[in-house]
Structure 1
Amino acid sequence: MLLGALVVGLLLGAGGVGAAWALGGEDGGSGSGAGAAGDARGACAALDGFDESRYGAKGDEGLVALNRWSGAVTLSAAAAAGDQEYRPLAEALKRAQQRHAREFTFDAEAKKDLAKARGICADL
């Protein structure tokens, strides 16, 4: 039951972040942030606001963390699909996501991949 709720939350969060990014754009919606680079910037912005210690918290605090996490993962995958340059970012986040799905926590290995992704974002 909990796993099902988590999956639904991830899907809704990813869709919401993706829709907001696509509709908003950096200049109010003219589409200047479109494409792989815009998706990568969106993934990094979501990751920048993500605090893994808040993931799973009750209430709005936990929902914010959940949605930022799912948004970062989803947008990084979109960026990598659009341009292979962003593949390392997507792979680091995917490894962290898979590790979290197995362990139900952001353990040392997941945090290592999060740090790698944050480093990639710092260089973008």
Structure 2
Amino acid sequence: MSSQPQYSAPVPPVSPASAPSRRPGVVPVVALVAGLLVGGGAVGAAWALSDDGRSTANAPADDARDACRALSGFDESKYGAKGPEGDIALNRFAAAGVLSASAAAGDKRYEPLAESVRRAQTLHAQTFDFGKEVKEELAKARDACGDL
């Protein structure tokens, strides 16, 4: 048996000018949004799957109360901090969105709460800041919690 050399087509070198360009900042934004969704989904799923004796008939009210508990423990000044404080803030903000949306899906009375949390999250995702508009929406959501 003779061994024949294997040939492959030459690969042209890639110059920096011909390399695909990436806009700086796109990857962190995608990572942040993905983190919010995964973190919020995980917290919401954990709460939903835990068996705490709640009845299905009260599920929307329970979800609304849990969203309000997440909001009451949420400190926006800790959001983005390194370590456990930042993780807690990120997950409470995400959980408030998931749980308030679940409550609103089950009972239209909770739509104002869900809408305010959603607006706060959307505004924050656009600005990466807890500015005046985001704080106003959080205040509306917390006010809706006071009515529960």
Same fold, TM-score > 0.5, yes or no = yes
The residue correspondences of 1:26-65 to structure 2 (distance < 5 A) are: 29-32=52-55, 35-65=59-89
Larger radius of gyration: 2
Consecutive unaligned residues in structure 2, runs of 5 or more: 1-26
What's the CA shift for 1:12?
2.4
**Identity between Structure 1 and Structure 2 (%):** 59
Consecutive unaligned residues in structure 1, runs of 5 or more: none
- Quick one: which of 98, 109, 114 aligns to 1:85? 109
What's the CA shift for 1:6?
1.2
Q: TM-score, length-normalised on structure 2? A: 0.76
Give aligned pairs, total.
Answer: 121
CA RMSD of aligned residues (A): 1.5
Matches of 1:64 and 1:8, distance apart in 2:
16
Q: For residues 30-87 of structure 1, what are the alpha-carbon distances to aligned partners after superposition, in whole Å with 9 as ceiling and x for unaligned?
A: 2337521111011101001100011111111111100000000111111111111000
Matches of 2:75 and 2:113, distance apart in 1:
18
The residue correspondences of 1:95-110 to structure 2 (distance < 5 A) are: 95-110=119-134
Task: Report the AA paired with residue 31 of structure 1.
Answer: R
Matches of 1:59 and 1:8, distance apart in 2:
18
State the 4+ residue runs in structure 1 displaced beyond 3 angstroms.
Answer: none
Alignment check: 8 A CA contact 2:72 2:142 kept:
yes
Residue 8 in structure 1 maps to residue 34 in structure 2: yes
